[in-house]
Amino acid sequence: MNNNPLVTYCLIAYNAEAYIDEAVNSAFAQTYVPLEIIISDDCSTDETFARIEALAVAYKGPARVIINRNTTNLGIGAHVNLTFKKSSGDYFIMAAGDDISTPDRVEIIIKEFLSDPLQIKAVFSDCIVIDSLGTEQGISSATPPRQFTEPKSMCRNSFRGVTGATAAWHRDVYSIFGPMNADVTFEDRVLAFRSALLGEIRYLALPLVYYRRHETNTVGMFHVCSSEAFRKRTRCFAAVYRNAIDDLNRTYAEVHKFFTI
């Protein structure tokens, strides 16, 4: 009998018709059991959801598959909140509609979580960078900065350190704190901060994701030198800090309630 915990593989997509087949097929190729796969489209204007539907119908594997299409474009933070709400897993493996996971990604990550299940709240890895055509550009080492899991240091360093494209989270980051603020774009920085408040973040020096870099990536804003790109980056970081303040207030309220019972 399989006593493994249920894991949810969350694949979120928006206007990714050129890449979605590879992303979905890499989800379906995961070797881990039991697995719940949620594939959610954020109201794409291209054929992304049609491709998702066709691939889901053709899938004959053991995982439970849930597909969703938002009726309006929610943005990244609200979209991740929605997939968390729809999920049943004890752990979440996050994936984007333009990236590709190795078949053993879930299996390796969950093995790491289970090495210390009470303490570990997040796991992330290296990735292989690919371009829009899928050509490999080399391994992007995700080696985190020193003290990156210490909450005070995270606040000082704009919550950087965890590579969101390769990240996985314990359910506590959602069930304890609740949904992220809807205006959050850098969801990985919010969830990493929550993980640091709750326990430990583990880094695996293994490339478990093919991370695609192209002109429409969210991180593309970091490579554009314009006043609008600067304003966009500022708004994104401000949203992360506002969410961190809210999470700290929630933490304080819970601790205060515990000591006053």
The predicted structure's pLDDT at residue 256: 46
Q: In the structure encoding, which two tokens stand for residue 23, read together?
A: 């992303």
The predicted structure's pLDDT at residue 258: 43
Is 106 contained in some domain? yes
Is 61 contained in some domain? yes
Q: Which tens digit of pLDDT belongs to each residue from 103-134? A: 999 999 999 999 999 999 999 999 999 998 88
As a whole number of angstroms, the distance between CA 166 and CA 40 comes to 18
Is 123 contained in some domain? yes
Strand partners, 37: 9, 65
Is 253 contained in some domain? yes
Is 247 contained in some domain? yes
Q: Which domain covers residue 176, as residue numbers?
A: 7-260
Is 2 contained in some domain? no
How big, in percent rounded to 5, are the helix, strand and coil portions of the chain?
40, 25, 35
- Number of structural domains (the chain) is 1
Treating both helix axes as pointing N-terminal to C-terminal, what angle do 187-198 and 227-260 enclose, rounded to 10 degrees?
30
pTM comes to 0.88
Is 82 contained in some domain? yes
For 64-79, what is the mean pLDDT? 96
Is 1 contained in some domain? no
Q: Is the pLDDT of residue 143 over 90?
A: no
Q: Is the pLDDT of residue 229 over 80?
A: no
Q: Is the pLDDT of residue 1 over 60?
A: no
For 17-36, what is the mean pLDDT? 98
Q: Is the pLDDT of residue 217 over 60?
A: no
Strand partners, 123: 168, 202
Residue 89 maps to which CATH number? Answer: 3.90.550.10
Query: What is the residue-averaged pLDDT of the chain?
Result: 89
Q: Which tens digit of pLDDT belongs to each residue from 87-100? A: 999 999 999 999 99
